[in-house]
Amino acid sequence: MGFFLETLIGGLMAGMLYSLIALGFVLIFKASGVFNFAQGAMVLFAALAMARFAEWFPKLLGFDSRLLANLLAFAAAFVVMIAVAWVIERFVLGKLVNQEGITLLMATLGIAYFLEGFGQTLFGSDIYKIDVGMPKDPVIVLESTLQGGILINKEDLYAALIAAGLVALLTLFFQKTATGRALRAVADDHQAAQSIGIPLKRIWVIVWSVAGMVALVAGVIWGSKLGVQFSLAQVALKALPVVILGGLTSVPGAIVGGLIIGVGEKLSEVYVGPMLGGGIEIWFAYVLALGFLLVRPQGLFGEKIIDRV
Amino acid sequence: MLYRENGQFKNSYRSDLAIFPILQDRIAIAALLAIAFVVVPLAAPEYLFRAILIPFLILSLAALGLNILVGYCGQISLGTGAFMAVGAYAAYNFQARIEGMPLIASLLLGGACSTLVGVLFGVPSLRIKGLYLAVATLAAQFFVDWSFLRIRWFTNDSSSGSVSVAGLNVLGLPIESPVQKYLFCLSFLVVFALAAKNLVRSHIGREWMAIRDMDVAAAVIGIRPVYAKLTAFAVSSFIVGVAGALWGFVHLGSWEPAAFNIDRSFQLLFMVIIGGLGSIMGSFFGAAFIVVLPILLDSLPAWFGIPIDTALASHLTFMIFGALIVFFLIVEPHGLARLWSTGKEKLRLWPFPH
């Protein structure tokens, strides 16, 4: 029982991190109908920027506080991500208005290649560390009720909390601010939004910037877990089943989908994996998502697809 | 002036249905085939065969198969690499386990196995559509990758899924030298391209296109979506599977599952999109573009004598590759095939303005 709970909690926390990346996909798809394959490259790019800025600033400006360095680096990386968002809108998506979904998808793949190359040219391609002072030691809880207690990785716990906080913040932003309302209007209907005077171009830059910020947070968390290196871009592949499971257009879907995938992956790894020879987590998430989609083709929380002739 | 259909009248159904209705086109294609079959084997250096021509031919074949699925039937697939892998490993099993199996038979049987897997993973397309389907096909990619790594039976008990073939021959003729390999692949490509061209002009091709343009409307006018979608998956994965078998047997010789990973799937999708969706010609343009571009980018610094270290060079290649893809999508979202047909239209009128 204790072991099962431990796996379950581990899965939930891993799932929170998947949701964080899935969130980036959903934000952009909602607002601009672009399935953004470059999200993984954006995570890598943001994490590289953060790691290198945190290294460069203290040397350049001659101070010695790690907190200050991290804060400055985070701010600078955010500015860089806004610049990336602007460039993408200005030079790529702005030119591809009204194209088919698959063309846009391939364009974002092109962007992904570009960002991966550009990031590593600019910031170097070694393995870098992001050290934001996350505690590494595990804690044991519930020792009194269960024998042996439950082992929880503190780092994962903090990461999950940060992810949850970010989701709450984004929800507030979408529901309560004028910009958030405009974003929702654009997501609902591009033409109607434009006709009541919402500037589409600016909205797209904002959405890509928000997605860039989400990528930055995801990059910092994953980067401090795994180290900042090229393989970070592959994390996006883990988030794809989450996105389709939850529904491409749904923010809550990204969260719930992430939790389902996280838990399913961990449980299957522990209980099913040994029977099949291990290493099944890479496809299990996809097959799980496929199973859910067969029942609900639009994902758990996606808008119902209505076909009209 | 030269390229013109004036005076070429179609006075029978046969001539109306010809693949190349214009005489000049027929001459050009005949010349192209003659060059490909006779001049190139005599003239081209060995490096050209190994690095460019053979990969180009095989990947064109795979792109052709994918184009049937994505371009003609509108079902986006990100699992092409998996179907190639199934073709390659199935053909390997036929070759290794059955004594005296003819090479062509194993390649085609590899394609047949790939067809089965393709139809199996095509079944969800009856319910899942669009981008959801695209991501769902990744399930095929990762599952197949995993099974060839882990399930020993598929790879004849070799460790980590690496297998190799040797001593290829067709009816006693060895397929050893680059020229022989080139001619072998070329023959396959020509046969399959002709078959595919005829297939997409037939009733079944029209059904695919109807499904692509709007599946509900197609169902309303009496096209069975189940039949149309599954045949598209079957035909596409057969061609892709044969291409995969050729890639393993002829181009690589020995391979492991990583040869058919997700990057291969993306590469093929790039070929189809850059070349032109829904165009047989486009598959060739796309394959040529994607095969030649990285080689060109790699050798550019050396030509200009700029010393550049390899890590930086590979990052720059990535950057330029990505930027060029975006550039081409912006300039011509319908692919190189559209540029080609626009050029032909212009040529028909030239030098007159109308």
Q: What residue in A sits closest to B333 (Cα-Cα)?
A: A103
* Interchain CB distance below 8 Å, B139 and A289: yes
Confidence band, pLDDT 50/70/90 cuts, at residue B82: very high
Give the residue, A297 or B69, on which the prediction is more confident.
B69
Contact residues on chain B for A278, CB-CB shorter than 8 A: 150
Contact residues on chain B for A298, CB-CB shorter than 8 A: 132
Residue B33, in any domain of the structure? no
Q: Are B104 and B171 in contact (CB under 8 A)?
A: no
* Interchain CB distance below 8 Å, A120 and B315: yes
pLDDT at A141 over 80: no
* Interchain CB distance below 8 Å, A294 and B333: no
CB atoms within 10 A of CB A263: 19
Question: How large is the ipTM?
Answer: 0.84
- The pLDDT score that the predictor gives to residue B1 is 62
Contact residues on chain A for B277, CB-CB shorter than 8 A: 102
Tens-digit pLDDT profile for residues B264-298: 998 999 899 889 888 999 999 999 998 998 888 87
pLDDT at B83 over 90: yes
Q: What residue in B sits closest to A305 (Cα-Cα)?
A: B129
Tens-digit pLDDT profile for residues A167-211: 888 888 888 888 888 888 887 777 888 899 888 888 889 989 999
Mean pLDDT of chain A: 84
Q: Are B338 and B286 in contact (CB under 8 A)?
A: no
A193-207, A262-276, B194-208 — most confident range = B194-208
B331 in A contact zone (CB under 8 Å): no
Contact residues on chain A for B70, CB-CB shorter than 8 A: 102
* Interchain CB distance below 8 Å, B136 and A286: yes
DSSP letters, B141-209, are HHHHHHHHHH-GGGGTT-GGG-EE----EETTEE--SHHHHHHHHHHHHHHHHHHHHHHHHSHHHHHHH
- DSSP classification of residue A120: H
- The pLDDT score that the predictor gives to residue A144 is 64
Residue A169, in any domain of the structure? yes
Among the ranges given (A142-146, A256-260, B19-23, B184-188), the one the predictor scored with the smallest mean pLDDT:
A142-146
Q: Are A43 and A237 in contact (CB under 8 A)?
A: no
Pick from B143, B315, B330: CB nearest A287: B143
Residue A5, in any domain of the structure? no
pLDDT at B131 over 80: yes
Q: Are A128 and A55 in contact (CB under 8 A)?
A: yes
Q: How far is A294 from chain B (nearest CA, A)?
A: 6
DSSP letters, A42-87, are HHHHHHHHHHHHHHHHHHHHT---HHHHHHHHHHHHHHHHHHHHHH
Residue A125, in any domain of the structure? yes
| Nearest Cα residue to A235 out of A71, A39, A82, A91 | A39
Size of the A and B interface in Cβ pairs below 8 Å: 146
Give the residue, B165 or B282, on which the prediction is more confident.
B282
Residue A36, in any domain of the structure? yes
Dihedral sign for Cα atoms in the order B245, B246, B247, B252: positive
Inter-CA distances, A71 with A57, A58, A65, A66, Å: 10, 11, 10, 9
Tens-digit pLDDT profile for residues A275-288: 777 777 778 888 88
* Interchain CB distance below 8 Å, B150 and A307: no
- The pLDDT score that the predictor gives to residue A253 is 87
What is the token pair recorded at A161?
């909390």
Mean pLDDT of chain B: 88
Q: Rounded to an integer, what is the distance from CA B120 to the centroid of its chain?
A: 21
Using only C-alpha atoms, chain A has a radius of gyration, in whole angstroms, of: 20
* Interchain CB distance below 8 Å, B146 and A279: yes
How far is B68 from B56, CA to CA, in rounded Å? Answer: 18
Pick from A95, A277, A283: CB nearest B139: A283
- The pLDDT score that the predictor gives to residue A148 is 63
Residue A276, in any domain of the structure? no
How far is B197 from B280, CA to CA, in rounded Å? Answer: 7
Which residue has 């709970």 as its token pair? A5
What is the token pair recorded at A127?
């393995």
Mean pLDDT of B136-155: 86
Choose from A44, A293, A304 for mutation: most chain B CBs within 10 A.
Answer: A293
* Interchain CB distance below 8 Å, B318 and A117: yes
Contact residues on chain B for A299, CB-CB shorter than 8 A: 132
- The pLDDT score that the predictor gives to residue B287 is 94
What is the token pair recorded at A251?
């923010």
Residue B40, in any domain of the structure? no
Residue B214 sits in which domain range? 48-349
Q: How far is A52 from chain B (nearest CA, A)?
A: 17
Residue B327, in any domain of the structure? yes
- The pLDDT score that the predictor gives to residue B201 is 92
* Interchain CB distance below 8 Å, B132 and A298: yes
Backbone φ, ψ for residue B255 (5° rounding): -150, 165
What is the token pair recorded at A174?
């979408």
Backbone φ, ψ for residue B285 (5° rounding): -60, -45
Residue A194, in any domain of the structure? yes
Mean pLDDT of A116-122: 88
* Interchain CB distance below 8 Å, B145 and A282: yes
Residue B27, in any domain of the structure? no
Using only C-alpha atoms, chain B has a radius of gyration, in whole angstroms, of: 21
Among the ranges given (A23-27, B30-34, B118-122, B227-231), the one the predictor scored with the smallest mean pLDDT:
A23-27
| Nearest Cα residue to A268 out of A10, A94, A72 | A10
Choose from A102, A125, A295 for mutation: most chain B CBs within 10 A.
Answer: A102
Residue B241, in any domain of the structure? yes
Backbone φ, ψ for residue A134 (5° rounding): -75, 135
Q: What residue in A sits closest to B271 (Cα-Cα)?
A: A106
Confidence band, pLDDT 50/70/90 cuts, at residue A149: low
Which residue has 């397929």 as its token pair? B175
Q: How far is B336 from chain A (nearest CA, A)?
A: 14
* Interchain CB distance below 8 Å, B151 and A277: yes
Q: Are B121 and B140 in contact (CB under 8 A)?
A: yes
- pTM, two decimals, is 0.89
Q: How far is B21 from chain A (nearest CA, A)?
A: 31
Tens-digit pLDDT profile for residues A58-108: 888 877 777 888 888 999 999 999 999 999 988 888 888 777 777 888 889
Residue A275, in any domain of the structure? no
Our count of domains for chain B comes to 1
Our count of domains for chain A comes to 1
pLDDT at A145 over 70: no
Pick from A117, A283, A289: CB nearest B319: A117
Residue A33 sits in which domain range? 10-230
Inter-CA distances, A180 with A170, A176, A177, Å: 9, 7, 5
B221 in A contact zone (CB under 8 Å): no
Alpha carbons within 13 A on the beta-carbon side of B85: 29
How far is B35 from B243, CA to CA, in rounded Å? Answer: 23
- The pLDDT score that the predictor gives to residue B20 is 85
**CATH number of the domain that residue B320 is part of:** 1.10.3470
Q: Are B113 and B242 in contact (CB under 8 A)?
A: no
* Interchain CB distance below 8 Å, A279 and B316: no
Q: Are A11 and A152 in contact (CB under 8 A)?
A: no
How far is B277 from A106, CA to CA, in rounded Å? Answer: 12
Confidence band, pLDDT 50/70/90 cuts, at residue B60: very high
Q: How far is B181 from chain A (nearest CA, A)?
A: 32
pLDDT at B81 over 90: yes
**Residues of B (57-96) whose Cβ lies below 8 Å from A:** 70, 76
How far is B80 from A13, CA to CA, in rounded Å? Answer: 33
- The pLDDT score that the predictor gives to residue A143 is 64
Mean pLDDT of A21-25: 87
B135 in A contact zone (CB under 8 Å): yes
Q: Rounded to an integer, what is the distance from CA A18 to the centroid of its chain?
A: 6
- The pLDDT score that the predictor gives to residue A85 is 92
* Interchain CB distance below 8 Å, A107 and B135: no
A43-52, A183-192, B309-318 — most confident range = A43-52
Beta strands A150-153 and A138-141: pairing type?
Answer: antiparallel
